[in-house]
Structure 1
Amino acid sequence: MHTASAGNANDNRTALGIACGMGAGALWGLVFLAPELVRDFTPLQLAIGRYLAYGVIAATLIAPRWRGLAASISRRDWIALAWLSLAGNTLYYVLLSTAVQTGGIAMTSLVIGFLPVAVTIIGSRDHGAVPLAKLVPSLLLCAAGAMCIGWQAITAPASGDAGRQLVGLACAIGALMAWTAYAVGNARCLTRLDQVSIHDWNLLTGLVTGAQALFLIPVSLAFEPIRHAGIAWAQFAGVSVAVAVAASIMGNALWNRMSRLLPLTMVGQMILFETLFALLYGFLWEQRLPLPLEVAAFVLVVASVLSCIAAHRRHPRDAAPSQSVTGEQLA
């Protein structure tokens, strides 16, 4: 009876974690559209606008309980927040925006689509993780889906010259590396920090990222002169606030909750939802239906996630992915 109850509890954790992962992916996919909506602004300006808004919102929400929360954060935690904010927010978004503006949404989605492979391979070394051998079918399906998207991007008529495409590819690979480091580091921090709620960790991340954005303003002013009209700045502000609320506040909160519910090997697979939604939004933006290779990519990616879920259901977890998580910690 106890075994059956434990099994149901694990199933419920997994289902809730997957739902949170899907929600985060749907919100994060909007990030791929932002550079297209305000193409007149540089990637650095986009990052500053988004993360200044994120920081202001986070500071407002965290102010009432700042004193008690700050006392529970150690020097080690602040250092972790600093590098996680840089890798997963500031650096990632600058590289992603550059990749979208120079290489296009499809190519960028392809490279980011390999995030599950990188994170899953790293997570397979964690204690109690599903052995990598059992995840091979899922990883192969993921890689096949990403290759379908890549082949479509390569064979489609290029919108720019080869040099721009290479710059876009290099930035997308850089974004892949930055976000892989963030996904792994953030999941492990959430496992360690039982005294900090997911909501507060997200707000603290916003606070640190907002501070980093402030330091980038002089850099932007020095190399990127202000030359936009008032209406363009209004549109830029609207997009920045919308992305900050949807992706940084709501999307990060869902992702952090998922990170405490699922093992790291499964966390990696959830990143695929961002790729899927980014492609969907790209099709809507371009006002077209997906091509055969793109449909195949959708099918393969979904099959990859389902295969990963099946592998975790068959693998008895000796240890929960993040110890015991109370309702307060998930708030």
Structure 2
Amino acid sequence: MGTGVLYALAAGLMWGLVFVGPLLLPEYPAALQSVGRYLAFGLIALLLAWLDRVRLRELTRDDWLEALKLAAIGNLLYYLCLASAIQRAGAPLPTMIIGTLPVVIAVSANLRDQRRDGRLPWRQLWPSLLLIGVGIGCVNSVELAALQREAGGDLGRYLSGALLATVAVACWTWYPLRNADWLRHHPGRSPRSWATAQGVATLPLALLGYALLWGGMTVADSPFAMPFGPRPLVFLGLMAVIGLFASWLGTLCWNEASQRLPTALAGQLIVFETLAALGYAFLLRGEWPAPLTLLGIALLIAGVLSALRVRPQPVAATAHAG
């Protein structure tokens, strides 16, 4: 359990980096940032795949199709929606919506995975979920209030950002549940190899997306300087860092956590990503969090620690006791 939590913490710290890209590259289209990030991830995974080629040969056609689905929805579509949301609504609102992931995933997993992981008793689970929810609300109420004071106006753009962030939540609710299904059904397979396989599956999708985006901009006579934009070194460097740490290494750590923890508990630990994203945002701003923000962070941590004390009960035993 302790090792799984540490892996989940490491994944959250690295996944928090994905909120940095749209803030550092506001003039770059979200689609370009999405395909650029996963093109870097795919190239890194291709090198790693050669080193891990023996284990990757053990994957079946169905395994590769599953990796392709996970790559398309949990990688490309998720980050496209998230980056678009941040650029349209600013960072606070998407962070607030993405911050609901621990609750959404925990509830979803507890509804669908009772036979496999056991049932986390709702009576014991709700207090931790409530703490997490209230903590996220505190943190983001401060951010949202600041955004409303500064907003000058396009309500449609703001609402479209909220909608895109909601779609991102749907993508990343589906991804960890489906990813955990594969890992739990293949306990003898290496989480590292599965992370690499997802990166390899991402590469052709990212290449196709990059080509379509470049072609579309050329046809539309866009003034944006393709292929790498007005700040090519910054763009390439940032995509490489996010591709290595947030994509491959973050996925590896999450896979390790998913094999050690019940899905409902692992889902709650995505709260570490929210905390990391907020921390990085405050570092970029050069500001210290407001008291209400600090209270929210404390509630988030308390909720996670409370959730870790809940133990799953076998479904049969629970039903008999009832």
Equivalent runs, 1:82-97 vs 2, <5 Å: 82-97=68-83
Is 2:106 the partner of 1:120? yes
Task: Pick one of 9, 13, 19 that aligns with 2:6.
Answer: 19
What secondary structure, in the 3-state scheme, does the structure 2 residue paired with 1:290 have?
A: coil
Q: Distance in 2 between matches of 1:197 and 1:303?
A: 32
Is 2:185 the partner of 1:192? yes
TM-score w.r.t. structure 1 length? 0.86
Q: Distance in 2 between matches of 1:281 and 1:160?
A: 25
Q: Give the C-alpha shift of residue 251 in structure 1.
A: 1.1
Task: Flag structure 1 segments of 5+ consecutive residues without an equivalent.
Answer: 1-13, 320-331
Render the CA deviation track for 1:119-144: whole Å, top value 9, x for unaligned. Answer: 11122132213223321001111111
Equivalent runs, 1:209-288 vs 2, <5 Å: 209-224=202-217, 225=222, 226-227=224-225, 232-288=231-287
More displaced 10-residue stretch of structure 1: 146-155 or 53-62 = 146-155
Q: Give the C-alpha shift of residue 72 in structure 1.
A: 2.0
Is 2:31 the partner of 1:35? no
Q: Distance in 2 between matches of 1:273 and 1:70?
A: 30
Matched-pair identity in %: 33
Q: Distance in 1 between matches of 2:123 and 2:88?
A: 37
Q: Which residue of 2 aligns with 1:306?
A: 305
Task: Flag structure 2 segments of 5+ consecutive residues without an equivalent.
Answer: 317-322
Q: Distance in 2 between matches of 1:18 and 1:142?
A: 16
Is 2:65 the partner of 1:79? yes
Render the CA deviation track for 1:180-218: whole Å, top value 9, x for unaligned. Answer: 100111111110123420110000000111111011123
Q: Which residue of 2 aligns with 1:322?
A: none
Distance 1:266 1:111, change over 3 A: same
Kindly indicate whether the alpha-carbon contact (under 8 Å) linking 1:121 and 1:132 is maintained by their aligned counterparts in 2.
no
Q: Which residue of 1 aligns with 2:49?
A: 62
Q: Which residue of 1 aligns with 2:289?
A: 290
More displaced 10-residue stretch of structure 1: 150-159 or 75-84 = 150-159
Is 2:45 the partner of 1:45? no
Q: Distance in 2 between matches of 1:280 and 1:65?
A: 35
Render the CA deviation track for 1:263-300: whole Å, top value 9, x for unaligned. Answer: 01111111000000100110111111112321221011
Q: Give the C-alpha shift of residue 233 in structure 1.
A: 1.2
Q: Distance in 2 between matches of 1:139 and 1:24?
A: 20
TM-score w.r.t. structure 2 length? 0.88
Q: Give the C-alpha shift of residue 71 in structure 1.
A: 3.8
Q: Give the C-alpha shift of residue 42 in structure 1.
A: 0.7
Distance 1:38 1:129, change over 3 A: same
Q: Distance in 2 between matches of 1:293 and 1:204?
A: 42
Distance 1:52 1:160, change over 3 A: farther
CA RMSD of aligned residues (A): 2.0
Q: Distance in 1 between matches of 2:265 and 2:58?
A: 29
Distance 1:248 1:297, change over 3 A: same
Q: Distance in 1 between matches of 2:230 and 2:102?
A: 39
Moved over 4 A (4+): 228-231, 315-319
Render the CA deviation track for 1:47-73: whole Å, top value 9, x for unaligned. Answer: 11111111111111112443x434422
Q: Give the C-alpha shift of residue 316 in structure 1.
A: 5.7
Kindly indicate whether the alpha-carbon contact (under 8 Å) linking 1:72 and 1:195 is maintained by their aligned counterparts in 2.
no
Q: Distance in 1 between matches of 2:45 and 2:84?
A: 26
Q: Distance in 1 between matches of 2:52 and 2:308?
A: 38
What secondary structure, in the 3-state scheme, does the structure 1 residue paired with 2:231 have?
A: helix
Q: Give the C-alpha shift of residue 318 in structure 1.
A: 8.9
Q: Distance in 2 between matches of 1:65 and 1:174?
A: 34
Kindly indicate whether the alpha-carbon contact (under 8 Å) linking 1:187 and 1:260 is maintained by their aligned counterparts in 2.
yes
Kindly indicate whether the alpha-carbon contact (under 8 Å) linking 1:106 and 1:149 is maintained by their aligned counterparts in 2.
no
Q: Which residue of 2 aligns with 1:324?
A: none
Task: Pick one of 104, 119, 134 that aligns with 2:124.
Answer: 134
Distance 1:251 1:76, change over 3 A: same
Task: Pick one of 93, 96, 111 that aligns with 1:110.
Answer: 96
